[in-house]
Amino acid sequence: MKNPYVPESRASLAIISRDAPEAVKSGLREHIENIIETIPLVGVYKAISNHPDIAMLPVGYKKLVVAPSVYEYYKDKLEPFDFVVIKGAGEPGYKYPANIKYNAAILGNRVICSQDHLDEIAETELRSGDLQILNVRQGYSKCSLAIIGEAQGITSDVGLAASLREIGYDILLIEHGHIRLPGLNYGFIGGSMGLLSERELLIAGSLTHHPSWGIINEFLGKYNIKPIQLSQEQVIDIGTILTF
């Protein structure tokens, strides 16, 4: 299955947190025609209640498994664009790890997640696409991992980086923190990004404020990926910019 986090062509639709700063939304509109804002999940804490990577999981090309309480909203929004929207088995809970049912990253033919907490329907859909489950300790797998290609990513999680490097992925390890997440002490790099195309990376804010910006920029250059910084503010974790 082609990685749904890596668009085959330039994306024309994005799902973004309703809580994203207006400057980020405005920047995104310059690159993507159709933007769908999230609605909050009632059962999780406010800081992440509008994060796409908490409410839904891409399981194929224009195919999503979505938390039951917000299923109708996304079905109505996405079906006009020929999406397949599937109702998940369970609702994300308030505390970790109950809130990570739909928080999984995909690299190559592997789904990186905390398998015991992955939504059952999402897992079935992913396995039907011939993907293998890679069980890792970092439950916020998608939040923690910025996917920049089929086999490349960026994270500040030492254990996650080690696990992925061990099986052949090229993972850049950056300094922890320095990413805003209002209501919490810090956010994650994966939650602040999304690929616009195979060679363009959307960033919710400006990573020039991050102490690891130099090595991040060098890493992106290694794969000929252009960073598109959507505002001049410090980068913010908005639960991934999902692009299609």
Residues of the chain with confidence (pLDDT) below 70: none
Question: Tokens 């970790």 sit at which residue?
Answer: 96
CA 239/CA 49 separation, integer angstroms: 9
Residue 152 tokens read as 């490349």
3 state DSSP class of 28: helix
Q: What is the pLDDT of residue 2?
A: 85
CA 36/CA 165 separation, integer angstroms: 34
CA 97/CA 100 separation, integer angstroms: 6
Cβ pair 17, 37 in contact under 8 A? yes
Q: What is the pLDDT of residue 1?
A: 82
At 75-99, the pLDDT tens digits run 999 999 999 999 999 999 998 999 9
In DSSP terms, which residues pair with 181 in a beta bridge?
none
Cβ pair 92, 51 in contact under 8 A? no
At 208-235, the pLDDT tens digits run 999 999 999 999 999 999 999 999 999 9
Domains observed in the chain = 13-243 (3.75.10.10)
Amino acid identity at 22: E
